[in-house]
């Protein structure tokens, strides 16, 4: 027989236990019934951003939520002394304004309430944070409320984030049942590594759902309208929002102000980090991302934004044009006490060409542009559509605003400019858009106003019924847990991963100087050509102080000489690439004329990219239909990996020319779902393919490069294979990642009819000098072993590599 439970034998204990449970349940229910209070703690409350925008945004939140059952307390904090801080905050609170449609008396009443609910305190030590937490708890209990949550808005420099986060986490978290939201202002790192480091440190204190990284552009009304606009106009846009109909997309932010007073920040970040990596990239993803089925789901929106990044083609040096207003270096010298000889390389203007390699956007140029001291202050996104119409009647007979021959465009006018306000504009010859009638109204006609080449009357134009400041919008979204208006950790790191390689490549680039304002004229105009950007006008000499003695390309002609007893051709990079491309085309034409086909083996890496682009766009007589393309070497990664040499060849050449697919021969590094496994015999397979298709395994032309350690192809110093012997194709090990490689051997390379070695950049000057003096020592300097048995070796070096 089972033992009888103790509480059955002791009914008094049972009654006491049940009473305690009931009291606990009742207390919990009563607590849930109590009105909730949210405490908002603004750190850096006396700073510039807080005084200009954040206190007004908090007041706007109070106006929105008052009377809806929410209770608030606003704690302004800073390192400033209590007396000073209170004085500053009092002035700020007095300057707060209400919406225009609010009665003055009602405004004064609510403003007085907000002032009563706001306080200032110094917040510096862990003890200060603990005291703040206890004061909040005591005040909530005293007023008979329950704590709903706490918002910490960190309007402070990023170097202070980690200490503040540690103090919040250890001493100032709300109790059980209440939420925590921590708001962070940019910059979120300086590059990918620093962003990863900061994200890891913050992630050790807060959960992802607790962090709200602010990009104030996401709070701007027109930017926030991009996804709803696309959603509400799906029927009209589904067939238009793609590469078949969009000619290009422009994302622009122009400023008239300079960086005076902010040069310490600007010297560290520059225009790309300050504007393009965050604001313009966020806008780009909103335009380019696939539209979720439900745009009201923050999770779906954030996931689709993140999915846009893998399709972004990696940025190269030629993806950018840079400028700097002339007075900038002088401002830096004054503010940062730099010597008179100091000249900053920090760009204050940048134009960037972005390509998105997916089915929707392939081939469509996305142009991101921002700069200081330009001719006007304006921000917009412009989607320009292709015009396939041909109008027989002359322009004077076209129907105003309706003709299919007029430009067709959608403009998200973010703000400022001649229009002067945020607006969404759609060409009348495109479609009549749907916008929410409650929040948007048609823009009144303004005779004489022209936007992007058309009168305002040629657009369906809509503006917000009531304009709102971006920070007011975002503070409301923080309160309502609208995470899709903020930058997640994954999104942040994806953006930095995209931008960091370009920033590294531009670190020593000299920006074009410009006078500023209307005087810029056409100096900063740039154009798209062959997948890269370049300034439209040559650089006037008078805008290059201190460079009077620098040689110009016109001072030199193509230099012909000898290098290691073989022909050397040296020139400026553009001339050198043009010469090499011309020589390759000439060799191809000769081979096809004599043998019916041309076998070209190409190296990977960054140096040949400009050559590939030149061949793709400037050589229309090239016999591509009779050309076989082979790889000299390959990294042991899948062929679709961005690190793959074949992927680089595909991106910069193959997708632009008509080479029969059966004439393209990638290295078989990925066989049987494995990478470069010896037992898969990839090297033997490639060697057999070469022997079967290339007469005597002798390529018509092999293009090589030279590494800073003297390696060529993927044949490295002291390599155990590939430098001699009978093998035609070998597996090798690189000192840099990815380490495993496949490469043509030196004996196979030396069977070629012609070998061209392309060497470019000042970084190659030292190895070029060294190799010029060494003998035949392939074990130490593999490039020294390149000497065709019966063919020709030609060196192509730019002046930086040859002359330094």
Q: What is the pLDDT of residues 158-185, one digit of tens each?
A: 999 999 999 999 999 999 999 999 999 9
CB 328 within 8 A of CB 518: no
Query: Rounded to the nearest 10 degrees, how much is the dihedral formed by the CA atoms of 712, 718, 723, 724?
Result: 170
Answer for the pair 199, 496: CB distance below 8 angstroms, yes or no.
no
Burial of 296 (0-12, 13-18, 19+ CB in 10 A): exposed
Q: Band the pLDDT of 285: cuts 50, 70, 90.
A: very high
Cβ neighbours for 336, distance < 8 A, ≥ 6 positions apart: 263, 264, 267
How does DSSP classify residue 290?
Answer: P
Does the pTM of the predicted model rise above 0.75?
no
Across the range 86-114, mean pLDDT stands at 92
Higher-confidence position of 32 and 418? 418
Per-residue pLDDT at 732 exceeds 60: yes
Averaged pLDDT for residues 648-652:
91
- What's the rounded Cα separation, in Å, for the pair 3 and 780? 87
Sign of CA dihedral 614, 635, 508, 759: negative
Which is more confident, 413 or 532? 413
Q: pLDDT at residue 697 above 50? A: yes
Q: How confident is the model at residue 393 (pLDDT cuts 50, 70, 90)?
A: confident
Average pLDDT of the segment spanning 283-297: 95
Parallel, antiparallel or unpaired: strands 792-798 and 670-671: unpaired
How far is Cα 745 from Cα 743, in angstroms, rounded to an integer?
6
Q: When comparing pLDDT for 640 and 701, which is higher? A: 701
CA atoms within 13 A on the CB side of 792: 12
Catalytic pick from 279, 599, 628, 656? 279
Would you say residue 453 has pLDDT above 90? no
24 falls in which pLDDT band (50, 70, 90)? very low
Tell me, letter by letter, the H, E, C secondary structure of 740-768: EEEEECHHHHCCCCEEEEEECCHHHHHHH
Share of the chain above pLDDT 90, in %: 77
Q: Where are the alpha helices (DSSP H) in 34-146?
A: 48-49, 55-65, 82-94, 104-116, 126-142
Say what the pLDDT of residue 197 is.
95
Percent of the chain past pLDDT 70, that is, above it, reads: 93
pLDDT surpasses 90 at 32:
no
Q: What is the pLDDT of residue 559?
A: 64
207 phi, psi to nearest 5 deg: -80, 155
Residue 539 has pLDDT above 70, yes or no: no
pLDDT band at 558, cuts 50/70/90? low
What is the reported pLDDT for 246? 96
Residue 27's pLDDT is what? 40
At residue 436, φ and ψ (nearest 5 deg) are -60, 120
**pLDDT-based confidence at residue 547 (cuts at 50, 70, 90):** very low
The residue among 160, 121, 348, 139 whose CA lies nearest residue 257 is: 348
pLDDT of residue 33: 52
Q: How far apart are alpha carbons 367 and 472 in whole angstroms?
A: 29
**pLDDT, average across residues 477-492:** 95
User: How many angstroms separate the CA atoms of 287 and 575, rounded?
Assistant: 38
DSSP state of 798: E
Per-residue pLDDT, averaged over 354-368, amounts to 94
Quick one: pLDDT at residue 365?
A: 95
Mean pLDDT, to the nearest integer, of 466-476? Answer: 93
* Average pLDDT score, the chain: 89
Q: What length does the chain have?
A: 804
User: Rounded to whole angstroms, what are the CA distances from 362 to 355, 369, 610, 654, 676?
Assistant: 7, 20, 20, 14, 31
Region 236-254: mean pLDDT is 95
More confident: 123 or 531: 123
pLDDT tens sequence across 316-345: 888 999 999 999 999 999 999 999 999 999
Q: What confidence score (pLDDT) does residue 12 get?
A: 52
DSSP 3-state assignment of 98? coil
Q: Is 416 a catalytic residue?
A: no
Question: pLDDT at residue 124 above 80?
Answer: yes
Question: What is the model's pLDDT at position 698?
Answer: 96
For the cut 90, the answer to whether the pLDDT of residue 10 exceeds it is no
pLDDT for the residue 6: 44
Mean pLDDT of all residues in 230-247: 94
């Amino acid at each position: 027989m089972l033992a009888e439970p103790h509480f059955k034998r002791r009914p008094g204990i049972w009654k006491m236990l049940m009473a305690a449970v009931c009291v606990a349940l009742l207390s919990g229910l009563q607590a849930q019934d109590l009105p909730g209070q949210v405490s908002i703690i603004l750190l850096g409350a006396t700073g510039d951003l807080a005084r200009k925008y954040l206190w007004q945004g908090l007041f706007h939140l109070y106006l929105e939520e008052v009377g809806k059952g929410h209770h608030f307390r606003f704690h302004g904090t800073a390192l400033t002394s209590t007396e000073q801080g209170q004085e500053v905050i009092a002035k700020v609170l007095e300057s707060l304004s209400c919406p225009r449609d609010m009665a003055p008396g009602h405004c004064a009443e609510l403003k007085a309430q907000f002032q009563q609910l706001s306080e200032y305190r110094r917040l510096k030590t862990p003890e200060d944070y603990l005291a703040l937490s206890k004061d909040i708890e005591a005040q909530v209990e005293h007023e008979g409320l329950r704590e709903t949550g706490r918002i910490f808005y960190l309007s402070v420099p990023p170097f202070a984030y980690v200490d503040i986060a540690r103090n919040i986490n250890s001493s100032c978290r709300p109790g059980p049942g209440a939420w925590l939201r921590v708001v962070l202002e940019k910059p979120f790192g300086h590059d990918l590594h620093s962003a990863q480091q900061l994200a890891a440190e913050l992630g050790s204190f807060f959960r992802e759902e607790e962090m709200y990284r602010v990009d104030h552009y996401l709070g701007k009304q027109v930017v926030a309208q991009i996804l709803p606009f696309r959603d509400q106009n799906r029927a009209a846009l589904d067939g238009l929002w793609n590469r078949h109909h969009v000619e290009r997309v422009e994302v622009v932010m122009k400023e008239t102000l300079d960086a005076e007073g902010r040069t310490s920040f600007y010297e560290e970040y520059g225009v790309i980090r300050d504007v393009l990596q965050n604001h313009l990239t966020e806008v780009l993803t909103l335009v380019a991302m696939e539209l979720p089925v439900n745009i009201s789901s923050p999770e779906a929106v954030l996931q689709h934004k993140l999915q846009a990044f893998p399709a972004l083609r990696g940025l190269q040096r030629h993806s950018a044009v840079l400028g700097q207003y002339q007075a900038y270096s002088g401002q830096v010298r004054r503010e940062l006490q730099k010597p008179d000889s100091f000249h900053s390389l920090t760009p204050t203007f940048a134009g960037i060409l972005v390509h998105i390699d997916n089915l929707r956007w392939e081939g469509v140029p996305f142009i991101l542009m921002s700069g200081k001291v330009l001719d006007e202050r304006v921000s917009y996104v412009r989607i320009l559509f292709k015009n396939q119409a041909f109008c027989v009647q002359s322009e004077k007979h076209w129907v105003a605003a309706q003709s299919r021959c007029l430009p067709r465009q959608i403009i998200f006018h973010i703000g400022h400019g001649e229009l002067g306000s945020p607006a969404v504009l759609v060409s009348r010859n495109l479609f009549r858009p749907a916008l929410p009638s409650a929040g948007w109204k048609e823009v009144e006609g303004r005779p004489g106003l022209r936007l992007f080449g058309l009168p305002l009357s040629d657009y369906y134009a809509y503006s917000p019924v009531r304009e709102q400041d971006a920070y007011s919008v975002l503070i409301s979204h923080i309160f309502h847990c609208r995470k899709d208006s903020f930058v997640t950790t994954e999104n942040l790191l994806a953006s930095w991963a995209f931008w960091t390689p370009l920033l590294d490549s531009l670190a020593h680039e000299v920006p074009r100087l410009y006078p500023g304002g209307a005087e810029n004229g056409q100096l900063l105009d740039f154009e798209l050509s062959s997948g890269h950007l370049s300034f439209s006008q040559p650089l006037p000499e008078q805008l290059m102080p201190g460079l009077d003695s620098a040689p110009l390309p016109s001072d030199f002609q193509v230099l012909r000489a000898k290098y290691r007893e073989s022909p050397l051709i040296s020139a400026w990079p553009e001339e050198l690439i043009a010469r090499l491309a011309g020589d390759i085309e000439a060799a191809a034409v000769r081979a096809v004329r004599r043998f019916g086909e041309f076998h070209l083996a190409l190296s990977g890496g960054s140096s040949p990219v400009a050559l590939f682009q030149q061949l793709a766009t400037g050589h229309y007589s090239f016999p591509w239909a009779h050309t076989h393309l082979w790889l000299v070497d390959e990294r042991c990664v899948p062929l679709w990996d961005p690190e793959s040499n074949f992927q680089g060849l595909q991106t910069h050449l193959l997708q632009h020319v008509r080479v029969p697919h059966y004439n393209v021969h990638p290295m078989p590094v990925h066989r049987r779902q494995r990478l470069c496994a010896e037992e898969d015999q990839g090297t033997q397979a490639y060697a057999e393919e070469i022997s079967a298709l290339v007469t005597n395994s002798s390529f018509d032309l092999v293009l090589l490069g030279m590494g800073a350690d003297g390696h060529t192809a993927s044949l490295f110093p002291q390599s155990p294979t590939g430098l001699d012997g009978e093998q035609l194709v070998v597996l090798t090990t690189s000192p840099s990642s990815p380490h495993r490689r496949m490469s043509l051997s030196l004996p196979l390379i030396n069977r070629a009819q012609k070998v061209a070695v392309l060497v470019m950049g000042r970084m190659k000057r030292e190895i070029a000098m060294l190799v010029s003096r060494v003998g035949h020592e392939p074990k130490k300097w593999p490039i020294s072993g390149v000497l065709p048995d019966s063919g020709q070796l030609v060196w192509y070096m730019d002046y930086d590599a040859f002359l330094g």
